Amino acid sequence: MKILFINGPNLQLLGQREPELYGGLTLDGLEKNLGEIADSLGVEALFFQSNSEGAIVDRIGQTLKDGVAGIVINPAAYTHTSVALRDALAAVKVPAIEVHISNVHAREQFRHLSLTAPVCLGQICGLGTDGYEWALRAMAKYLKEKIQEKQRDGEKNEN
Ligand code: DQA
């Protein structure tokens, strides 16, 4: 079961960028930790970061071909502006969880609106980079439950 982590603009600078808001862990360090947690949960973690809105839209579209079962996405600044990202998530219908490292609701007004959250299962914010781990655990549980549901439905249809 593949879970794709997508990080948007400026998140390649994690560890250096405003550490008082975003913490001291680098993106490489974060991805390494998430890969280990994914292994322990029996799922496969894939990683993608881009500063370009179009590249993120392309990567989301590709999930229809590469068997990604779930998406954990921090769209960063595009959260607040991108109809294209929202439409991409809605188009592929791959379940997604939105993550923000900082508590966007306790910051400037323009960060309170998320265009992408309404097409996600839910949003985790304000828990630092740990939020990605909680999103991974939640997504793995959600996907496993979906598989079990399908199996139960299949058994019902056989009877
Ligand atoms: C962010 C919050 C956004 O408002 C901001 O533009 C980011 C990071 C977060 O993880 O807290 O780049 O998504």
Our answer on whether the CB atom of 90 is closer than 6 Å to any ligand 1 atom is no
**Total number of domains constituting the chain:** 1
CA distance 61 to 141: 24
Is pLDDT of 61 > 90? yes
Nearest residue (CA) to ligand 1, atom 7: 76
Least confident of 38-47, 86-95, 126-135, 145-154: 145-154
Q: Which domain holds residue 124?
A: 2-158
pLDDT tens readout for residues 15-57:
999 999 999 999 999 999 999 999 999 999 999 999 999 999 9
Ligand 1 centroid to residue 141 C-alpha, Å: 25
The answer to whether residues 119 and 86 touch, using CB atoms and an 8 Å cutoff, is: yes
Nearest residue (CA) to ligand 1, atom 3: 76
The answer to whether residues 119 and 96 touch, using CB atoms and an 8 Å cutoff, is: yes
The enclosing domain of 115 has a CATH number of 3.40.50.9100
